[in-house]
Amino acid sequence: MDTAKEEKALSAYIKFLQGKNVSSEAIALRAKFLEKLTILLQGKSTREEYGSALETALKVEGNIERHQQLNIAREFFPFWIGDVKMIARMSETYGFDLSISQLKPLPAISVEELNNYKLDGNEADLLNRYAELMKEQNQSEDVVQARLRLAKLVLLRLRDIPIKNNVSYRMAVEVTLPLFNVDDIRQRFLLAVREFFYIWIAKVDPNYTPIFTR
């Protein structure tokens, strides 16, 4: 089996990370996961096949959390398909992505305190669209309200990030995640923010094209 494509893509991705001053530890973590993913990608060429290989890799790789694995796969994808324009666009904001360490984690907040935070018109409109989507899916009112609160947390965090794109959204999720210590609640949060992302990104970046389906 010819592995030249995957080896070339992984080499280019690692050089990209080195050029962005990513730590050697972070690069090693990415490379370890991608070495397993690229084995599954041999002989593949389409977005759908990439997604399928990723799902298989997620089932067998247990050293890092699922959302981290997805982020790594999203970063690697344009190198695998050789999309120079996509890589260039990612490069424009990648340095900003690394500044996540400069954002302080949110303090613990009660439901009552969260309800007291006022949203502007655009933020309220986004949450209303999310509520409508969930009602179309016949979600219960308790589920709707719970997920709206989780999405609101991300909106509040996004206020601290001047750039509005898929990278900044991921940053907002990363710094909000430490609020949830119980795994079940963490998974509910990640589910809600994944759903809400497509509503939010359609507003702030209509030209955004997702790499993977929902």
State the pLDDT confidence band at 162, using cuts at 50, 70 and 90. Answer: confident
pLDDT of residue 73 exceeding 70, the answer is yes
Report how far residue 102's alpha carbon sits from residue 20's, in angstroms, rounded to the nearest whole number.
17
Give residue 204's identity as a one-letter amino acid code: V
Q: What is the mean pLDDT of the chain?
A: 83
Note whether 33 and 24 are within 8 A (CB).
no
Q: Cβ contacts of residue 194 below 8 Å, gap of 6+?
A: 214
Report how far residue 132's alpha carbon sits from residue 144's, in angstroms, rounded to the nearest whole number.
9
Task: Specify the residue for token string 């219960």.
Answer: 140
For residue 151, which of 206, 116, 198 has the smallest C-alpha distance? 198
Q: Give percent of the chain above pLDDT 90.
A: 38
Q: What is the DSSP letter of 20?
A: T
What is the pTM assigned to this prediction? 0.59
CB atoms within 10 A of CB 15: 11
Supply the pLDDT for residue 165: 79
